[in-house]
């Protein structure tokens, strides 16, 4: 069995601890800047089971994240974003999130070729990146 190698620009994003509306807002910001493995019609929605929901998307961050300034996005909660990918790819993803939200770093683990980071987002006019 062979494992498919993803491009270095790919970041796996898991989004949880939030409402479907907040998930839609966060993923909308990222989908506006990067190619994703989801189609536009594949919108976040609440699970009927009442169990916690986690949304996952693969993003290709090969595009230039500084190309367009996105609108300020309001969130009703503080979603948790877990991202895993190459160092440059995860940094690009973080930059885009930082342009739209306040980003609070909850933890980062870096290896030779991969970074895992856990971020908490919230709405703020300051849009500062902070360590929590």
Q: Per-residue pLDDT tens for 64-122? A: 655 555 566 789 999 999 999 999 999 999 999 998 999 999 999 998 889 999 999 99
Look at residue 22 and give its three-state secondary structure: helix
Q: pLDDT (tens digit, 9 = 90+) per residue, 7-25?
A: 889 999 999 888 889 999 9
Q: Which domain holds residue 48?
A: 10-131
Overall average pLDDT of the 49-71 stretch: 72
What's the domain count of the chain? 1
Q: What mean pLDDT value characterizes the chain?
A: 81
Q: Write the CB contacts of 24 (distance below 8 Å, at least 6 apart in sequence).
A: 43, 44
Q: Which uninterrupted H or E stretch holds 96?
A: helix 87-100
Question: Is residue 115 one of the residues assigned to a domain?
Answer: yes
Q: Is residue 2 part of a domain?
A: no
Q: Per the domain annotation, does 124 fall within a domain?
A: yes
The answer to whether residue 118 is domain-embedded is yes
Give the dihedral of Cα atoms 26, 27, 30, 34; nearest 10 deg: 180
pTM of the model: 0.81
């Amino acid at each position: 069995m062979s494992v498919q190698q993803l491009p270095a620009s790919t970041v796996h994003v898991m989004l949880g601890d939030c409402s479907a509306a907040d998930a839609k807002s966060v993923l909308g910001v990222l989908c506006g800047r990067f190619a994703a493995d989801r189609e536009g019609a594949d919108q976040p929605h609440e699970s009927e089971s009442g169990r916690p929901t986690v949304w996952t998307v693969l993003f290709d961050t090969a595009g230039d994240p500084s190309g367009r300034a996105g609108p300020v996005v309001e969130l009703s909660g503080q979603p948790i974003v877990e991202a895993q990918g190459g160092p440059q790819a995860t940094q690009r993803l973080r930059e885009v999130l930082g342009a739209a939200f306040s980003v609070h770093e909850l933890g980062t683990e870096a290896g030779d070729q991969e970074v895992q980071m856990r971020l908490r987002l919230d709405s703020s006019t300051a849009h500062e990146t902070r360590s929590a």
